[in-house]
């Protein structure tokens, strides 16, 4: 059966979901000794994707994912040109991520595939909660929480925990709004969303708290867009949006780590000074000469070129200093085409059951762009595969729209020919 018209989820979507599930559950914490699991699943994903590409004779890849693949290739070339193999193991990891992104993109062929993959991923939070149950219980019982008590657990880093929880929030809300999701799944998803919100608030991550506010704002706007055809429905949707955003702001304000948000507004001298130094150092290194301007100094080599011994804490400066202007254009060109695609699809699908899913994908992509400004995300083992899944879903909707347009044209042509024949018969 044509995958565009298929109503069943494929084996590939189950494998993609299993990989997305395994990364937060097993990859972050080496103390669990389970990191081999996502690697084995990733290998299966890539092999099945290669088999699928040969079997079907075509690549199920959008322009955005092709550009990301070219970015990975260029980053490897830039690393070789730098002639410094200190971080050779890290470049191998980046190559693996690139193959995984291409693999998951190849295997998601229709809406059922997309929903199956993100549903399996959504339930990964159950295992994450299980692994961190004791830490979570201690935080719940604590009478006083200090800045060092931020939740990370097996996710190893509070920012990683918050961004993961935001992706669970996205997948959960997407499933809740989709008319194709079964009722029992929606009920279970309410629980996963609640746990995700808990992790965000106790992670103390500024990125996570800002992300929740942005998510609520975009969701409120979705309510209004879906009901703007009627004055009273628009009014009710607007009030609901205000209540949602207000409740989110109260949620953030009552966070035990709200003081960190105030520090960001008032300016944290220690953190701000470090970030400004790293940005300036990365920019100066990038502009050293023509070679570094175009090709950078090589993946992760900047860590050995600044006094703090750290990466630049922003994908913007890190792509420039690591892979030069060419790498920067390829990477952010990929994200530009991804945003452009879903913004176009938002207009095409308005009034259909696809609209809410497309809109929530656009929200997540914009949040990912936000993360890129304050973190290095180009080798993310979970977010970039998620971008690949979303890209393929958008690619599917684009092809579906073209099929429908072609059908409409053929039907119109058939109707005209039929009418013409009828008129000829009547004249005769």
| pLDDT for the residue numbered 53 | 94
Confidence of residue 401 (pLDDT cuts 50, 70, 90): low
235's CB contacts (< 8 A; 6+ apart) are none
Domain boundaries, the chain: 11-395
pLDDT digits 0-9 by tens, 8-27: 889 999 999 999 999 999 98
pTM for this predicted structure? 0.87
pLDDT digits 0-9 by tens, 308-360: 888 888 999 999 999 999 999 999 999 999 999 999 998 888 888 898 899 99
The average pLDDT across 395-419 equals 60
> Does the structure show a pLDDT above 70 at 414?
no
The average pLDDT across 372-386 equals 92
pLDDT digits 0-9 by tens, 180-229: 889 999 999 999 999 998 888 888 788 888 888 888 888 888 778 777 77
Nearest Cα neighbor of 371 from 160, 152, 216 is 160
| pLDDT for the residue numbered 144 | 58
Report the share of the chain in percent with pLDDT over 70.
Answer: 86
Confidence of residue 77 (pLDDT cuts 50, 70, 90): very high
CB 131 within 8 A of CB 137: no
**Burial class (CB within 10 angstroms; exposed 0-12, middle 13-18, buried 19+) of 258:** middle
> Does the structure show a pLDDT above 90 at 364?
yes
C-alpha to C-alpha distances, 372 to 187, 224, 318, 335, 378, nearest whole angstrom? 33, 28, 10, 10, 8
304's CB contacts (< 8 A; 6+ apart) are 86
């Amino acid at each position: 059966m044509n995958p565009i018209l298929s109503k069943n989820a494929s084996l590939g979507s189950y494998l993609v979901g299993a990989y997305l599930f395994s990364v937060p559950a097993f990859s972050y914490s080496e103390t669990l000794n389970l990191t081999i699991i996502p690697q084995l699943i990733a290998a299966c994903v890539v092999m099945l994707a290669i088999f699928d590409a040969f079997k079907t004779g075509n690549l199920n890849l959008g322009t955005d994912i092709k550009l990301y693949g070219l970015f990975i290739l260029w980053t490897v070339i830039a690393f070789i040109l730098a002639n410094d193999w200190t971080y050779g193991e890290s470049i191998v990891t980046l190559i693996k991520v690139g193959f995984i992104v291409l693999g998951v993109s190849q295997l998601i062929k229709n809406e059922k595939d997309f929903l199956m993959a993100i549903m399996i991923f959504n339930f990964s939070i159950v295992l994450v909660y299980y692994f961190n149950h004791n830490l979570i219980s201690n935080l719940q019982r604590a009478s006083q929480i200090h800045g060092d008590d931020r939740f990370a657990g097996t996710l190893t880093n509070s920012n990683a925990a918050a961004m993961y929880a935001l992706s669970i929030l996205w997948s959960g809300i997407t499933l809740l709004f989709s008319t194709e999701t079964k009722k029992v799944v929606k009920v279970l998803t309410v629980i996963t969303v609640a746990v995700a919100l808990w992790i965000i608030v106790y992670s103390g991550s500024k990125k996570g708290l800002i992300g929740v506010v942005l998510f609520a704002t975009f969701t409120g706007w979705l309510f209004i867009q879906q009901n703007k055809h009627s004055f009273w429905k628009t009014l009710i949707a607007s009030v609901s949006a205000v209540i949602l955003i207000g409740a989110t702001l109260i949620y953030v304000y009552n966070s035990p780590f709200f003081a960190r948000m105030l520090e960001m507004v008032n300016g944290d001298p220690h953190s701000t000074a470090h970030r400004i130094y790293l940005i300036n150092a990365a920019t100066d290194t990038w502009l050293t000469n023509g070679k570094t301007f175009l090709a950078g100094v090589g993946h992760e080599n900047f860590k050995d070129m600044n006094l703090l011994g750290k990466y630049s804490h922003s994908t913007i400066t890190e792509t420039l200093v690591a892979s030069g202007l060419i790498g920067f254009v390829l990477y952010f060109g990929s994200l530009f085409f991804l945003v452009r695609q879903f913004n176009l699809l938002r207009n095409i699908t308005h009034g259909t059951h696809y609209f809410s899913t497309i809109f929530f994908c656009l929200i997540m992509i914009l949040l990912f762009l936000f993360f890129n400004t304050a973190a290095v995300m180009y080798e993310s083992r979970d977010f970039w595969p998620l971008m690949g899944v979303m890209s393929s879903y958008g690619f599917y909707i684009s092809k579906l729209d073209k099929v429908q347009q072609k059908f409409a044209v053929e039907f119109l042509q058939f109707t005209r020919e039929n009418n013409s024949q009828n008129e000829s018969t009547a004249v005769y």
